[in-house]
Chain A
């Protein structure tokens, strides 16, 4: 079997990992599994696409940056899309999740997120139809890099972007006051309140990080695969599996879990066939739940 699956796996893993960071943060800080997270991805991607087309319509055609398939409009649009997705997450929290959270039944919030996910996805289908679209239809030539592996400039750029973002979030979580507040809240919410941590602002930061990263993951899928209303929903199971595999609440764990699942999926595609790809995350998820339910870097609930 060719080693190409390593590159494919790392790329899929980056998308899953970036999404799983949001899932794991929501779970550990707000204490519910957010089934609408995949749809944040899709909304962010469509928002980015809309901004790209708007820029294209006002400035005219922009040449892509040297070897990449996209130019500065996509980069600008991505930043706007990230802000949009973060706002969307904040809005949904304000009108729905925060009200249900204050009623104290965690699982009701999960169900509401399931309903919200259905509504968000169907709205996308209504606005943009279910036909797939693309950021660019140009075909990139993959460069051979040895060991039978080929990689395109886009793929290298996106892998680097993922590394930078993950490092950034990790530093934010471990080196800043905000990050330490987030960790405190996830470890012991009552104590965190007693020492005067502003819970509302921590919750806001959680949604902003989760939403913005979901948008980046979605745009990655958009650049490398395609854009569909269901793109986020299909990522949901791999993202949950990655978050649990890495250990709930752990950022490095979520990313590592994503990479493991991405590599396993890419390997399975080569060995068994692409149609069984989605089963890989389920099998890994079940294995983790049976063998080590707290995940790789998880801490036992106290």
Chain B
């Protein structure tokens, strides 16, 4: 029974990661927009939803006590707006500027979470975030399973919606922009407009994932949204294969399994006073793993990104194949 409960807990966390990875896949895999500050967007979603749904708290702004679904919707709206603004500032420039700006967004969000006590509760974070099925918390197994059900449904909806979007004319424009911007522009598509849209939708999905996580754990603090989160999600997307939504989900579950497993392993193998160092070694190992995958298998497990430069001919054949059946 314990194992089943842990399995449900593990899968819930992994699926929340999948949701973030799906958002990143829309931004990077489909559109080629580089976001190294995604932890910031996840945090925006978590804090927005927490502010909207927690009971009134004299120490800070709000607690508006609204229903959870309103919190989730609010998280998506605010996350989407934040991403749209970031995109509008940088997407007319070279891609690296977007990377640097998103990095800055994450830094600033972290600062606000830590220092704007009135808004975010500061370093102590926000507690008492209402949990769906909170009444079931007496029986942990049922509670975990119902959480898993909710997160699965949300992830499935996001997955199907994104699959549909990427096959729609809108998704084809994004792919065209990614592969050959000049050709797409010559067909009358505004590159910047489409990219801002994709970036905003991706940001909204990340924010939703942040909100889900907040309501799943019931407590959030600035420490949940450090750069390591950004890094984990990137590894998940690259392992799964950027461009593939299925790859994003499977990559997330796989990498989270490796991450949680190696975490458990280090906590067994190392004495308590060495834990922090072992954790650092774990991060270093995953960083090396990311670089190795980029070097030897940049397409990940399910990636669809054709490599143009030195595999010119093969890529063309692959593209032709992938076009013909659909």
Contact = CB atoms under 8 A, between A and B. Distances in A.
Interface of A: 27, 32-33, 35, 96, 99-100, 102-108, 110-112, 114-120, 122-123, 125-126, 129-130, 233, 236-237, 240-241, 244, 275-276, 278-279, 281-282, 285-286, 289-290, 293, 301
A118 B284 contact: yes
B99 A110 contact: yes
A103 B309 contact: yes
28 contacts: A33-B96, A33-B99, A33-B100, A35-B103, A99-B295, A103-B309, A104-B308, A104-B309, A105-B307, A105-B309, A106-B95, A107-B95, A110-B96, A111-B34, A111-B234, A115-B231, A115-B290, A116-B291, A118-B284, A119-B288, A120-B284, A130-B280, A237-B104, A240-B103, A276-B115, A282-B105, A285-B100, A286-B89
B156 interface: no
A293 B93 CA distance: 8
Contacts of A130: 276, 280
B258 interface: no
Given A125-B277, A289-B93, A282 B107 contact: yes
A103 B34 CA distance: 18
Given A130-B276, A237-B107, A282-B107, A112 B34 contact: no
Contacts of A289: 89-90, 93, 97, 101
B298 interface: yes
Interface of B: 32, 34, 36, 89-90, 92-97, 99-101, 103-105, 107-108, 111, 114-115, 227-228, 231, 234-235, 238, 276-277, 280-288, 290-291, 294-295, 298, 307-310
Contact of A112 (B32, B294, B308): B294
Q: Is the interface of B mostly helix, strand, loop or mixed?
A: helix
Contacts of A118: 227-228, 231, 283-284, 286-287, 290
A244 B276 contact: no
Contact of A126 (B97, B280, B290, B294): B280
Contacts of A122: 280-284, 287
A279 B34 CA distance: 21
Nearest to B295: A99
Given A27-B96, A118-B286, 18 more contacts: A102-B310, A110-B96, A111-B238, A111-B294, A115-B294, A118-B231, A119-B286, A119-B287, A119-B291, A122-B282, A126-B284, A130-B280, A233-B227, A236-B103, A237-B100, A241-B104, A289-B89, A289-B93
Q: Which 5 A-B pairs have the closest CB atoms?
A: A119-B287, A104-B309, A115-B290, A125-B280, A122-B284
Contact of A286 (B92, B101, B111, B298): B101
A241 B103 CA distance: 11
Contact of A129 (B89, B95, B277, B286): B277
A282 B108 contact: yes
A119 B294 contact: no
Contacts of B105: 282
Contacts of A282: 104-105, 107-108
B115 A275 contact: yes
A246 to B, nearest CB: 14
A285 to B, nearest CB: 6
A91 to B, nearest CB: 13
Contacts of B34: 107, 110-111
B300 to A, nearest CB: 12
A104 B310 contact: yes
A237 B114 CA distance: 18
Contacts of A112: 290-291, 294-295
A35 B310 contact: no
A104 B307 CA distance: 9
A267 B111 CA distance: 18
Contact of A108 (B108, B111, B294): B294
Contacts of B294: 100, 108, 111-112, 115
Nearest to A288: B97
A290 B94 CA distance: 13
A274 to B, nearest CB: 10
Nearest to B289: A115
A115 to B, nearest CB: 4
A119 B284 contact: yes
A261 to B, nearest CB: 12
Nearest to A125: B280
A278 B284 contact: no
Nearest to B230: A114
A219 B228 CA distance: 26
A96 B296 CA distance: 11
Residue from A96, A104, A126 with most neighbouring chain B CB atoms (10 Å): A126
A279 B94 CA distance: 23
B291 A115 contact: yes
A118 B96 CA distance: 19
B280 A116 contact: no
Contacts of B100: 33, 237, 240-241, 244, 285
Contacts of A125: 276-277, 280
